[in-house]
Structure 1
Amino acid sequence: MGKKRSREVDGQGDIPMEDPAIHKKSDDEDDSSDEDMDIINVDFELFNYDPQIDFHGVKTLLRQLFDADAQLLDLSALSDLIVEQNTIGSTCKVDDKANDAYAFLTVLNVTEHAPKKPAVAKLAEYLAERARGDEGLAAAGVPELLTQPKEKQVVGLVLAERLLNMPAEVIPPMWSCLIDEIEAAVEDGEPYQFTHYLVVSRAYHEVESTLDQAERKQKKAREEAELQYFHPEDEEVRRHAVSSGAYSFAREGEVVADSRRAFQELGVKPCGLMMLIEAGKFQRAVKAIAEYVGTGGMTISTST
């Protein structure tokens, strides 16, 4: 696979990016207040995948993405594939390339890889099975696209995840870079000419909190509550999708990790989310993400 285009911003190197959630106290505020804090400049930088560095960080984020069902998939093999196709997608890091990724984004050619790579075939079948349980996804033919695509149908599986406390403003540059990288790969004759993109993400429903027993007795469970997003950009992605749907994790009743238990105590029930976008609308969706999320005055530097 050829080397992708350099991702420098206006020819500059690392550029500080200020997190708007962190503010500097004013002179007339009480210095003794525990809530006072100073501005902290954080340098977020996008990098190509490095197989010698990024395997464990990507695997950890994949485990978070697939939640209770992570054990059903071969995350090691998937992580290897992601970091090996290092000209497609990005990691977002702080301080140094040698650190683990705080966020990652990539696209896998399911149609190309599933017949040859068991890990991708297992992932495609898993997602197809989850899609069969959603009326909209099933009607849109998502299960067939993943496992039995028609001639000339090529599905790009978009995988993205980040640490929960990462600002959403780091995401638009990652998506914009992905568009450029796909275009460059197609120009080089590489297999990234997709007809559809299937974006896999996570969302949640608000349910009864297990912390307030008195309140629990007064309220009914809200299992069918409105879908909420861990990733705010997913709301915009859904607007451009031909079909989308949430799905329950197959093993959600069997696996109770500390993080999941904490969600349950706070009244949050995670679920999977799939969004199918036709290739002709993908670039518009990426532009809409940038407009919807914005940058909050942040600037991100990119490196190869």
Structure 2
Amino acid sequence: MSKRKQDVGDKVMNKNTATTDDESGEDEDFDVLNVDFEWFDPQPEIDYHGIKTLLQQLFDVDAQLFELSALTDLILSQPTLGSTVKVDGNETDPYAFLSVVNLQEHKDKPFIATLIQYLRSKANSKPELAPLAQLLSQSTIPAIGLVFTERLINVPSEIVPPMYTMLLEEIDWALQDKEPYNFSHYLILSKTYTEVASKLDAEDDRPKKKKKAAGGSFETMYFHPEDEVLQRHALCHGGFDYSTKQDEGHSDSKRAFQELGIKPQGHAILISADQFKPAINEVAEYLKPQA
């Protein structure tokens, strides 16, 4: 673990949970949970299962289409590039991670070729992703840095800026050592979701909920709030449907104590290299911890 990541990990982030006062029914008490988040370099002997699990979460239902074991090994073969975030010490599974893979450098690996083909087909299916489709259709894939980042659902977004800031520094150091990280573009893989009308409510004949769910299309929501900032600097960005089809009850299985179901989608953000640092700086300002 580098000293720099130790220093970042000494910071304490607070996660606030509101609880209702049972006696008054009006006042709210706030329980503050102090959590020490620690940043580490990816470590093959420790982080394999944790990163693979987070990749499965990132790719959602399409995770079965990829060789995630090989992809995890590739990410872990770059121990000085990217970060993991942990709570209970170095020997535990990461709560979050961020890394980048050079598509040009690894294009001939079968599992990367499969991933490129998948991304090309998704980009070709969406007019708003045409610039990405053009890049991935070239006879020689450009030096695109494919960014993988995911975190457990309750991890606060304030951990994101340090991971990206450290990535920029690590890329600069790698370039000084003549390593192949001189990217022309960065492609960030993410996911969004929309709320959909619940099939369970339709079956139960609940008029109030039906009326609420019948308002037409629903707004796209972000699992990663930083995506809204990153795409302001993008050449293109957009969502795409997963290839693996699910039955009608799948959205209801994700609704978690709310009236509407959840339909996840893949999301891609393409940023030119000269805009990546300004994008990260804006993310840092947007997600700055509140005083």
Matched, 1:19 2:8: no
Partner of residue 105, structure 2 = 112
Q: CA deviation at 1:207?
A: 1.5
Partner of residue 121, structure 2 = 129
Distance 1:85 1:256 in 2: 40
- Equivalent residues of 1:157, 1:198 under 8 A apart: yes
Distance 1:193 1:21 in 2: 40
For residue 185 of structure 2, what is the amino acid of its counterpart? H
Q: Structure 1 residue aligned with 2:135, among 136, 145, 169?
A: 145
Structure 1 residue runs without a partner (length 5+): 298-304
Q: Structure 2 residue aligned with 1:292, among 264, 283, 286?
A: 286
Q: Secondary structure at the match of 2:60?
A: helix
Q: Secondary structure at the match of 2:242?
A: coil
Structure 2 residue runs without a partner (length 5+): none
Give per-residue Cα distances to partners, 1:187-219, cap 9 Å, x unaligned.
110000000111100101121134533246434
- Equivalent residues of 1:16, 1:42 under 8 A apart: no
Q: Secondary structure at the match of 1:159?
A: strand
After superposition, the Cα gap between the structure-2 partners of 1:133 and 1:124, relative to the gap in structure 1 and judged at 3 Å, is: same
Larger mean CA deviation between 15-24 and 91-100 belongs to 15-24
Matched, 1:234 2:227: yes
Instruction: Give 4+ residue runs of structure 1 displaced > 4 Å after superposition.
Output: 22-25, 29-38, 254-257
Question: Does 1 or 2 have the higher relative contact order (CA < 8 Å, sep 6+)?
Answer: 1
- Aligned-residue identity in percent: 44
Distance 1:260 1:7 in 2: 44
Q: Structure 2 residue aligned with 1:55, among 48, 56, 71?
A: 48
For this pair of structures, how many residues does the alignment match?
A: 283
Q: Mapping of 1:1-304 within 5 angstroms? A: 6-8=3-5, 12=7, 15-22=10-17, 36=29, 38-115=31-108, 117-138=109-130, 140=131, 142-148=132-138, 153-213=142-202, 214=206, 215=208, 217-218=210-211, 219-220=213-214, 222=216, 224-253=217-246, 261-263=253-255, 266-297=260-291
Q: CA deviation at 1:129?
A: 1.1
Distance 1:206 1:266 in 2: 6
Distance 1:50 1:255 in 2: 40
Tell me the C-alpha RMSD between the 2 structures.
2.9
After superposition, the Cα gap between the structure-2 partners of 1:260 and 1:162, relative to the gap in structure 1 and judged at 3 Å, is: farther
Distance 2:278 2:263 in 1: 31
Q: CA deviation at 1:16?
A: 4.7
Distance 1:16 1:108 in 2: 28
For residue 233 of structure 2, what is the amino acid of its counterpart? H
Q: Secondary structure at the match of 1:193?
A: coil
After superposition, the Cα gap between the structure-2 partners of 1:271 and 1:24, relative to the gap in structure 1 and judged at 3 Å, is: closer
Normalising by structure 2, what TM-score?
A: 0.87
Q: Larger % of helix: which?
A: 2
Q: Secondary structure at the match of 1:143?
A: helix
Q: CA deviation at 1:263?
A: 3.5
Distance 1:62 1:256 in 2: 24
